[in-house]
Amino acid sequence: MKDFHLRWIKLDNETESKKAMEIIGSDPGGIAQMAGKPLGRALKIENVPLHVAHILKQEMLSLGGDAAVHRNVIVNKIEATDMLLVGTVKQFRKLSQKLLAQPFGLKDLGKTLKSLLEGFEPPQKRVLSCRGKELLLGERTLIMGILNLTPDSFSDGGKFVTLDQALKQAEALVEQGADILDIGAESTRISHDPVSAKEEWERLEAVLKALVPRLSIPISLDTYKAEVAERALDSGVHMINDVWGLQRDPRMAEVVGKYQAPVFVMHNQKGDNYRHVIGDIMAFLKKSILLAEEQGLKGDQIIIDPGIGGPAFGKSLDLDLEIMSRLSEFRSLGHPILLGTSRKSMIGQTLNLPPDQRLEGTIATSVIGVAAGVDILRVHDVLPNKRAVQMADAIYRQKRGANFVGA
């Protein structure tokens, strides 16, 4: 099955609509005529073979929708094209049914489109089992509190390196309302000093031994090393947060599968060279999802993270801002979404502020995350973010739910 990277894209005005079609390579005259159409609903499909593109365009036109393709499609001078299908949800539902009867891999495309359409429904409340602890998803946006045991973290390095400091901070985060505690013992800042698995575990062992039986909430371990993850899971840790999406250490997927531990898979890469930023990130995350699924994990057990974080995670400021503006597109992957922006360089560069003055910027991104349908927010400052998120949830989850009155 060919992966076309289907996703709904957010176009709020004609300027954005025109830019989206220019990127595809559409004819300027066609762009002028179609500019207002994608403001209903737009579906981006990448690298579509020419014969498939012709079928999709004709099917969409027959339903009253439209399709933007590269200008050379009409003269058959291109082997493949990105496409922008535009129409109503009703038209896309009919298209998904028609594709199920088509050849050339379009049956699989129809199944994928049907799955994307299901994402329009309000999120259902469900319980995620975390190795003895439980998380309720779909009711409200959850808060993951950060506990760094590192001496060189970009934000709070050295503040919680002793056992007493770590325990007090963990308990404070829980008291402030954290739903998950994420513990890390190696910095991810771009100029950090790498640590061995042995040293990382030495920083973690006593803290985990004290916190696992003490805390009422699930504990997530932030590590990309399978050896460290295995020791932590054997000690009772409930979840793993891998900033390399199971793709750095070849044993990591096997380890989380062995313990059936929910896993956060983050997009990461060296350098910020992308063909299609969202499409490329999704392709990486799909590989991470597949690695987890091959080890028996499924559905809510796999939580995706687009990886906001500047050069440390293969993004520039402009790319981080673009990802933030298009967060809702990641819902197409069908897994819960984690967003981690707390005190990060995107906020520092935008506001020209040091890490300890980035609270307001962080809260702004948290609210944007709620509006986009993010499930979990990873933050340093739990209480103020939780209050802001509670207010945003009251607005946006009401809007997406069954009790929304409408106009």
pLDDT for 249-276, tens place per residue? 999 999 999 999 999 999 999 999 998 8
- Identify the segments of the chain with pLDDT beneath 50: 402-407
The alpha carbon torsion through 287, 289, 294, 299 (nearest 10 deg) reads: -160
Please give the structure tokens belonging to residue 361. Answer: 């910027």
* pLDDT of the residue at 38: 62
> How big is the chain, counted in residues?
407
- Whole-structure pTM over 0.85, yes or no? yes
Are 46 and 56 in contact, with CB atoms under 8 Å apart? Answer: no
Give the whole-angstrom CA distance, residue 297 versus residue 202.
Answer: 29
3-state secondary structure the chain: CCCCCCEEECCCCHHHHHHHHHHHCCCHHHHHHHCCHHHCCEEEEEEEEHHHHHHHHHHHHHCCCEEECCHHHCCCCCCEEEEEEECCHHHHHHHHHHHCCCCCCHHHHHHHHHHHHHCCCCCCCEEEEECCEEEEECCCCEEEEEEECCCCCCCCCCCCCCHHHHHHHHHHHHHHCCCEEEEECCCCCCCCCCCCHHHHHHHHHHHHHHHCCCCCCCEEEECCCHHHHHHHHHCCCCEEEECCCCCCCCCHHHHHHHHCCCEEEECCCCCCCCCCHHHHHHHHHHHHHHHHHCCCCCHHHEEEECCCCHHHHCCCHHHHHHHHHCHHHHHHHCCCEEECCCCCHHHHHHHCCCHHHCHHHHHHHHHHHHHHCCCEEEECCHHHHHHHHHHHHHHHHHHHCCCCCCC
What's the pLDDT score for residue 1? 52
Q: How many Cβ atoms from other residues are within 10 Å of residue 391's Cβ? A: 12
| pLDDT reported for residue 220 | 98
pLDDT of residue 402: 42
Inter-axis angle of helices 89-99 and 106-118, to 10 degrees? 150
Question: What distance in Å separates the CA atoms of residue 318 and residue 316, rounded to the nearest whole number?
Answer: 5
pLDDT for res 116: 86
Please list the active-site residues. 344, 378
Phi/psi for 110 (5° steps) reads: -65, -40
Query: Cα angle at 81 between 70 and 320, to 5 degrees?
Result: 95
